[in-house]
């Protein structure tokens, strides 16, 4: 037999959990056999490739359940199965004349002897054995679902997260993985909204009709994990196709939705944050707030201190790495919205400042930094803009926002209301100070819910509602 190089494996250990399901091709003995490994229910094809006076040699290929069906229905060849990603390494196994395994090698595909590689036309030309017809008929729904997954994977974007240093205790945390997926989801949905209104707004007679269909599209573009590998975290993300009959949507819109994920990768994840930094043509209609909604989660991912991200789509051999984004570039990509009190100051007369100082402190002696922390309100008529840079948790721990937020305080009849829509907080008080005190209580409650939610997710428990998820995600972003 030919000299095949590879890593030695324990043949006895490998075959100990294998059970032969059937011989698919035979001539004076089996030429191609199907084995199942228990308890994991992995499927293998043993293809006879070489022999000498004392032994036979077999090429062992893993095969998915779906691809086994494809092979037996002449949809895939043995060469196609050999090319599948899960067969990047194969096993070359030898058996003696009694059929007992004598040795085994783990071989990289590129190191496999050319004569051992399946021929391009190695299709299964026989009728499917009756036993397999019964098997697949009994599990037809699983086959259909496997085909659905296969179609999704063909259009998926692969994300790979890996720690910066391969060392002890540097594996990725669940919070990192969960935060990454949540940010991608928010960014993708913001991108879809901008693209939909830019591409299809003019085709609707009324904006209400467009928004109705947009809601259907946004519901349909919830990213789905369709394949994942572990170690470094690797996941294929796809979008379920919109069913035309159920959604009553135009055919061209369904086709558009099927392409939108790869457009998103091209326009957002593959966006060049350096050089001229021009926005993609497909986002030319997006305003500053929409651009922030799309790109802020990606900038947060790019600058994560625990991992880096690479992306790949079907047909691409190399991964593209998402590079960190500097503060200067971030400001160009994500212009900070104008401060409401600055806008008001241009158009109105400043009537008063409300400061919170230590007892006995002379206001004329405070620094600008102290002034910013002490500033409680800038009154402009019946509205007040209040800067909040931190709050205290229920354990009295000081929690800092990554960027200060602006809380609107307005007069509502005889009361004041402190509101911050992104967190769905709107609290009443007899004066601005009382309204803000109630606002801080709600921040503490939200922060406690966020901490509990992280613990619930580690236990596999979900959120009470989609709305709660959006609010807690918004708070997590403000703190990251």
Question: In this predicted structure, what is the pLDDT of residue 237?
Answer: 78
pLDDT at 242 over 60: yes
Evaluate whether residue 1 is within a structural domain. Answer: no
Average pLDDT of 275-285?
79
**Which residue did the predictor score with more confidence, 316 or 365?**
316
Residues 232 and 121 in one domain: no
Residues 166 and 300 in one domain: yes
Evaluate whether residue 2 is within a structural domain. Answer: no
Question: In this predicted structure, what is the pLDDT of residue 338?
Answer: 55
Cα 287 from Cα 125, distance rounded (Å): 59
Evaluate whether residue 209 is within a structural domain. Answer: yes
Residue pair 108/89 in contact by the 8 Å Cβ criterion: yes
Tally the domains of the chain.
3
**Which residue did the predictor score with more confidence, 354 or 434?**
434
Evaluate whether residue 56 is within a structural domain. Answer: yes
Element (H, E) at 226: strand 224-229
Residues 47 and 140 in one domain: yes
Domain final position from 315, 333, 351: 333
pLDDT digits (tens, 9 = 90+) for 181-194: 888 888 888 898 89
Is the bond into 39 cis (omega within 30 degrees of 0)? yes
**% of residues, the chain, pLDDT over 90:** 14
Give the residue among 421, 432, 348 at the shortest CA–CA distance from 386: 432
Integer angstrom CA distances of residue 47 from 36, 94, 103, 308? 14, 11, 16, 41
Question: In this predicted structure, what is the pLDDT of residue 351?
Answer: 42
Residues 95 and 111 in one domain: yes
Residues 397 and 463 in one domain: yes
pLDDT at 343 over 50: no
Evaluate whether residue 145 is within a structural domain. Answer: yes
Evaluate whether residue 286 is within a structural domain. Answer: yes
Question: In this predicted structure, what is the pLDDT of residue 337?
Answer: 59
Evaluate whether residue 289 is within a structural domain. Answer: yes
Question: In this predicted structure, what is the pLDDT of residue 307?
Answer: 79
Confidence class for position 58, pLDDT limits 50, 70, 90: very high
Give the residue among 35, 102, 94, 40 at the shortest CA–CA distance from 62: 35
Return phi, psi of residue 224, to 5°: -115, 130
Cα 397 from Cα 480, distance rounded (Å): 16
Confidence class for position 147, pLDDT limits 50, 70, 90: low
DSSP state, residue 1: -
Give the residue among 302, 356, 307 at the shortest CA–CA distance from 334: 302
**Which residue did the predictor score with more confidence, 265 or 236?**
265
Evaluate whether residue 409 is within a structural domain. Answer: yes
pLDDT digits (tens, 9 = 90+) for 441-470: 999 999 988 888 877 766 656 555 667 778
Residue pair 149/224 in contact by the 8 Å Cβ criterion: no
Question: In this predicted structure, what is the pLDDT of residue 474?
Answer: 85
Element (H, E) at 12: helix 11-15
Residues 190 and 209 in one domain: yes
Residues 417 and 310 in one domain: no
Residue pair 253/200 in contact by the 8 Å Cβ criterion: yes
User: Among the listed ranges 260-264, 272-276, 401-405, 457-461, which one has the minimum average pLDDT value?
Assistant: 457-461
Domain final position from 150, 167, 200: 150
pLDDT digits (tens, 9 = 90+) for 122-141: 999 898 888 888 877 766 65
Average pLDDT of 202-226?
80
Question: In this predicted structure, what is the pLDDT of residue 227?
Answer: 60
Three state DSSP letters for 112-153: CCHHHCCCCCCCCCCCCCHHHHHHHHHCHHHHHHHHHHHHHH
Cα 34 from Cα 215, distance rounded (Å): 48
Residues 400 and 440 in one domain: yes
Which residues span the domain enclosing 380?
340-479
Residues 181 and 267 in one domain: yes
Residues 324 and 354 in one domain: no
Residues 163 and 288 in one domain: yes
Question: In this predicted structure, what is the pLDDT of residue 463?
Answer: 55
Cα 291 from Cα 335, distance rounded (Å): 9
Cα 395 from Cα 400, distance rounded (Å): 14
pLDDT at 39 over 80: no
Residues 249 and 327 in one domain: yes
Domain final position from 116, 150, 184: 150
Confidence class for position 344, pLDDT limits 50, 70, 90: very low
Burial bucket for residue 91 (CB in 10 Å: 0-12, 13-18, 19+): buried
pTM beyond 0.95, yes or no: no
């Amino acid at each position: 037999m030919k000299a095949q190089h590879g890593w030695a494996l324990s043949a006895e250990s490998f075959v100990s959990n294998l059970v032969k399901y059937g011989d698919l091709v035979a001539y004076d003995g089996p030429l191609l056999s199907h084995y199942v490994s228990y308890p994991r229910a992995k499927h293998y094809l043993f293809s006879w490739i070489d022999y000498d006076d004392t032994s036979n040699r077999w090429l062992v290929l893993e095969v998915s359940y779906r691809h086994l069906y494809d092979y037996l229905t002449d949809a895939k060849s043995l060469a196609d199965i050999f090319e599948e990603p899960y067969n990047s390494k194969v096993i070359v196994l030898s058996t003696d004349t009694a059929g007992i395994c004598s040795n085994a090698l783990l071989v990289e595909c590129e190191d496999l002897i050319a004569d051992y590689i399946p021929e391009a036309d190695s299709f299964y030309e026989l009728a499917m054995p009756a036993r397999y017809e019964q098997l697949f008929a009994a599990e037809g729904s699983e086959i259909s679902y496997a085909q659905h997954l296969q179609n999704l994977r063909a259009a998926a974007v692969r994300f790979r997260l890996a720690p910066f240093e391969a060392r002890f205790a540097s594996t990725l945390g669940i919070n990192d993985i969960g935060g990454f997926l949540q940010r991608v989801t928010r960014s993708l949905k913001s991108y879809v909204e901008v693209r939909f209104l830019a591409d299809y707004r003019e085709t609707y007679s009324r904006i209400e009709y467009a928004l109705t269909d947009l809601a259907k599209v946004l519901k349909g573009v919830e990213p789905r994990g369709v394949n994942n590998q572990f170690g470094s975290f690797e996941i294929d993300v796809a979008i379920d196709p919109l069913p035309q009959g159920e959604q009553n949507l135009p055919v061209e819109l369904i086709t558009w939705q099927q392409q939108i994920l790869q457009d998103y990768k091209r326009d957002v994840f593959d966006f060049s944050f350096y050089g001229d930094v021009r926005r993609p043509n497909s986002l030319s209609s997006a305003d500053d707030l929409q651009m922030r909604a799309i790109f802020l989660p990606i900038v947060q991912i790019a600058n994560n201190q625990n991992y880096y991200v690479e992306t790949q789509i079907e047909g691409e051999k190399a991964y593209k790495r998402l590079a960190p984004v500097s503060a200067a570039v971030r400001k160009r990509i994500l212009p900070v919205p104008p401060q409401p009190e600055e806008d008001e100051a241009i158009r109105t007369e400043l009537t008063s400042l409300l400061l919170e100082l230590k007892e006995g402190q002379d206001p004329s002696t405070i620094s600008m930094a102290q002034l910013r922390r002490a500033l409680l309100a800038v009154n402009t008529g019946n509205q007040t803009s209040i800067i909040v840079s931190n709050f205290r948790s229920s354990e009295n721990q000081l929690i800092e926002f990554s960027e200060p937020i602006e809380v609107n305080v307005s007069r509502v009849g005889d009361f004041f209301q402190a509101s911050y829509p992104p967190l769905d907080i709107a609290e009443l008080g007899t004066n601005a100070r009382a309204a803000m005190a109630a606002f801080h209580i709600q921040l503490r409650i939200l922060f406690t819910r966020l901490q509990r939610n992280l613990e619930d997710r580690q236990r596999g428990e979900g959120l009470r509602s989609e709305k709660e998820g959006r609010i807690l995600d918004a708070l997590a972003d403000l703190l990251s």
